[in-house]
Amino acid sequence: MHTRPGMTGLAGAPEVVIERLPHYLRTLTQLNNSGVEIISSQHLGAELQVTSAQIRKDLSYFGRFGKQGRGYNVRHLLDRIRHILGLQTTRNIGVVGAGRLGRAIIGYPGFAPEGFKVTCVFDSNPRLIGQMAGGLMIHDMSNMKEILSREKVQIVILAVPPDNAQDVIDQVVRSSIKVILNYAPIAAHVPSDVHVRNVDPVLALQSMAYHLSIDS
């Protein structure tokens, strides 16, 4: 359910910090597009609704990117964060599940500009196998491992019904995939070296429903 707790010692940054970096990246990109060249942690924090101290502390896990008395060069900081996150390279994605949701994901135009490219699609339904989805042929799941490795896929997006989702996850894990974006409404069980993030709008709505019943 969780990401593992942050290993503070001398190792890497806590996972919460890693999760904030993409937010910083996004806002810095907007600032850069608006022609802003220098920004202080104070102002960046105001945009992100985060304290300036948190931004400075977060960045300090990775180096010293600012100039005292001045602030951060937006372009430079953008580059550094992109490198920290390993976003220089384009990453290939395999989508498992070519139903309604899977096809929406394959057709989603937001991935490519960020360097994520869906390069193969799988489904277990014989009626779908061999058909096209978003310009890609839908593969049988039986030779998933070979295809993922041939296509140099490092990330799998899971968009299958909940019933067999864990089985599919097991197969994805057996295919040596270490990063999974899970749209299936289950608590995925994976080994500790596999990273999963979940996308589930229903859970988000349910937790906010709480505030509809108590506030007011």
Give the helix/strand (H/E) hosting 111.
none
Dihedral in degrees, nearest 10, Cα atoms 61, 63, 69, 70? -110
Work out whether 130 is an interface residue with a copy of itself (CB under 8 A).
no
How many CA within 13 A on the CB side of residue 193?
Answer: 5
Choosing from 14, 99, 134, 185, the residue that interacts with DNA (CB under 7 A) is 14
Given a copy of itself, DNA, none, residue 71, with its beta carbon under 5 to 8 Å by kind, binds DNA
Work out whether 10 is an interface residue with a copy of itself (CB under 8 A).
no
Binding mask 29-68 for DNA (x = CB under 7 A): -----------xxx-------xxxxx-xx-xx---xxxxx
Beta carbon of residue 140, minimum distance to a copy of itself (angstroms, whole number)? 25
Q: What angle do CA 91, 166, 120 make, to 5 degrees?
A: 30
The span from the first CA to the last CA of the chain, in angstroms, equals 30
Cβ distance 81 to 28 under 8 Å? Answer: yes
| Sequence-distant (≥ 6) Cβ neighbours of residue 186 within 8 angstroms | 162, 165, 166
Instruction: Report the alpha-carbon distance of residue 143 to residue 123 in Å, rounded.
Output: 11
DSSP-assigned beta bridge partners for residue 118: 93
C-alpha distances out from residue 12 to 9, 18, 23, 91, 202, Å: 8, 10, 19, 22, 33
Work out whether 47 is an interface residue with a copy of itself (CB under 8 A).
yes
Binding mask 72-111 for DNA (x = CB under 7 A): x---------------------------------------
Scanning 69-77, 85-93, 174-182, 199-207 for contacts with DNA by CB under 7 A, the matching segment is 69-77
Please say which residue, 67 or 187, places its beta carbon nearer to a copy of itself.
187
Instruction: Report the alpha-carbon distance of residue 170 to residue 190 in Å, rounded.
Output: 8
Q: Tell me the two tokens of residue 9.
A: 């010692």
Please say which residue, 57 or 152, places its beta carbon nearer to DNA.
57
Binding mask 159-188 for a copy of itself (x = CB under 8 A): ---x---------------xx-x---xxx-
Give the interface with DNA as residue ranges (CB under 7 A).
2, 5-6, 8, 14-17, 40-42, 50-54, 56-57, 59-60, 64-72
Give the interface with a copy of itself as residue ranges (CB under 8 A).
1-2, 12, 18-23, 25-27, 30, 47-50, 84-87, 91, 93, 100-101, 104-105, 107-111, 114, 116, 154-155, 157, 162, 178-179, 181, 185-187, 189, 193, 195, 197, 199, 201-216
